[in-house]
Every structure is written in structure tokens, then in C-alpha cells.
Copies of this chain bind each other. A is one copy, B any other.
Amino acid sequence: MKLVAVGTMAFDSLETPFGKADRIIGGAATYIGLAASYFTKSTTLVSVVGDDFPTEFEKELISRGISLDGVEHRVGEKSFFWSGKYHNDMNTRDTLDTQLNVLENFNPVVPESDREADFLMLGNLTPAVQMSVIEQMTKRPKLIVLDTMNFWMDIAMNDLKSVLKEIDVLSINDEEARQLSGEYSLLKAAKTIMKMGPKNLIIKKGEHGALLFSEHEVFFAPALPLEEVFDPTGAGDTFAGGFIGFLAATQDISFENMKRAIIYGSTMASFCVEKFGTERLLSLDKEQIESRAQQFIDLTQVEINF
């Protein structure tokens, strides 16, 4: 089923304990689109780029069945740019530079032909912009997944609360869940947040895995213990892309299937962090993905006879 993903397409300059990467391709929509492309060939990205964004990379995305019909190209303007440096623990980072450029007045437009899409992924953006996308849909999607961050909780909490009322699944990290709910216990945080609108909540805990909540159920997906996390940039978006890509491909939004989708999201994220930027996501095949997903399953496999 058709998937529409809204988010940035950008340049990132990164510094990790393993090295530096200068002006490589990044952005939420890029990672979401690439991760989803391993599950479905019906994804449309909605984004905005300047004329510095490489045509070659766009062709690469298109060759993977990703439609860029919703990507606005602004002549004479520059793409969004972010630069950051990761600390040794890889869980924390400093932003060195942020150049909004084309993002300063981004008004995403969903192509006419995609306004009845069944799956909508709202990558991390101003909550008001996320809302404007929902309003463009002529049919209520079967599933709306939203990613956001603490920054919007600090400066646009009211807008965020409005958009939360309109979505099905919220995907945030543990600190954000605590900030949004005012609860330290993630179980209490989940209950509070689901009262704000979303029927399901995903709490990402980085190297500690991810939790999926519904009103009466909870599922925990572990993170794979890795030798090295090379570059965590894009891991959250890749997770989201794998998650919603799998759901769109299987057309099943039951809690049971969301559990599988979390495993595939985690699988895709575990590949993403192995190399700089999108590099690893460009060189995967179905077999590697299934084999890695099996590792996730095996990691918690245990039988007890009661």
C-alpha cells in the first residue's frame, strides 16, 4: 500500500570517535525512504532541497522505487545542513552548526495522487508543518506515525499536542517520553502520552532497545549488542522507515504485526549505524535483513515450561 513520508533531505557533517564525514547525504526523509524501500516500492517522499542536492543521489532513490514527486527543488537556494560531533558513548552529541536554508519556509505539498495514501510517516519537523500534511490528505490514512523531538516540546508544545491528537503511533526516545509526560517511569509515561492521542507509543532506548505500547499491551525489542556503533546518525529515522515500510508492505496494523515491524525497524537501524550516513543502507539485500532480524529474535528466545 502507498506510503507517504515527510521529512528533510539534507547534508550532514559528522564527527565520531571513528572519523569524520564532510557534507554527506542525510535527512529524515532520506533515511526513512531508504529503509522502507526494502519492504515496499510504493513510497513517496515529501521534502524540499536546494539546487546543491546531487541529482545522482535522487536517481539512486528513484531506482529503488522511491517517488520524489513530492520533493520541491528550490533554485538558487541551499539544502538543509546539520553538523554534529558525537561523544565517546555515542549516545550524546553536540550540534556544531545548523543551517536551515530551504527549511526556513518549508511548506510540504503532498502530490495530488498520493493524498489517499494509507500510510503516512511524519518525520521530525515543526509540529505545525506536520499538521499541515495531515490536513492535505483527502482520506484519513489507515496509519499515521509521527516522530518528534524534545526541541519541539520546549518551543511548540501546544502545536505538538494538537498534532498528537491526529496520529496513531508516536515514536520518541526515553528522555523525550519523560519530558512529554512529566513521568519518570516509562510505563506511566506511556499511559499519559497515549491519553494525548496516539493509540500506540514507541519508546526508543538506543542501545537498550525499544518498547511498543498499546492501551493493554507492551512489547520489548532488544538492541543487538554490536562490536561498534560507527555513526548513529539517522538510526531513529531508519528505524521508523523499516517500521512503517514493513507495515505498509504487509497491510496489517494489528499489535502482533507492529511487533514484527519493530523488529524490522530495529534490524534496519542496526545496519544503519555500521557505517557513515546512508552508506550501509545502500548496500543491503533481503537475505542480510532476514538473517539480522533472526538474530534479534534469537537474542530473546527462551522457553520455560510452566
Residues of A within 8 A of B (CB): 88-90, 184-188, 190, 205, 208-209, 211, 218-222, 225-229, 256, 259-260, 263, 290, 293-294, 297, 299-304, 306
Residues of B within 8 A of A259 (CB): 302
Q: Are A304 and B297 in contact (CB under 8 A)?
A: yes
Chain B proximity of A239: nearest CB distance (Å): 16
Say yes or no: A260-B187 contact (C-beta < 8 A), given A205-B208, A218-B225, A299-B220: no
Residues of B within 8 A of A303 (CB): 260
Chain B proximity of A269: nearest CB distance (Å): 16
Q: Are B263 and A187 in contact (CB under 8 A)?
A: no
* Cα of A51 to Cα of B71 in the assembled complex, Å: 78
Copies assembled: 2
Say yes or no: A304-B222 contact (C-beta < 8 A), given A227-B188, A228-B185: no
Residues of B within 8 A of A306 (CB): 290, 293-294
Q: Are A89 and B209 in contact (CB under 8 A)?
A: no
> Can you list 22 A-B pairs with a CB-CB distance of less than 8 A?
A89-B184, A90-B184, A185-B228, A185-B229, A187-B227, A208-B209, A218-B225, A219-B300, A219-B301, A220-B222, A220-B225, A220-B299, A220-B300, A221-B302, A222-B222, A259-B302, A260-B303, A263-B302, A290-B306, A293-B304, A294-B304, A294-B306
* Cα of A295 to Cα of B226 in the assembled complex, Å: 27
Q: Are B302 and A219 in contact (CB under 8 A)?
A: yes
9 closest pairs, A vs B, by CB? A300-B300, A208-B208, A187-B225, A259-B302, A220-B222, A220-B299, A290-B306, A186-B225, A187-B227
Residues of B within 8 A of A90 (CB): 184
* Cα of A226 to Cα of B185 in the assembled complex, Å: 7
Say yes or no: A225-B208 contact (C-beta < 8 A), given A88-B184, A299-B220: no
Chain B proximity of A177: nearest CB distance (Å): 11
Considering only CB atoms, which chain B residue lies closest to A206 in the complex? B208
Considering only CB atoms, which chain B residue lies closest to A211 in the complex? B225
Considering only CB atoms, which chain B residue lies closest to A208 in the complex? B208
* Cα of A299 to Cα of B300 in the assembled complex, Å: 10
Residues of B within 8 A of A300 (CB): 219-222, 300
Q: Are B260 and A299 in contact (CB under 8 A)?
A: no
Chain B proximity of A249: nearest CB distance (Å): 13
Considering only CB atoms, which chain B residue lies closest to A259 in the complex? B302
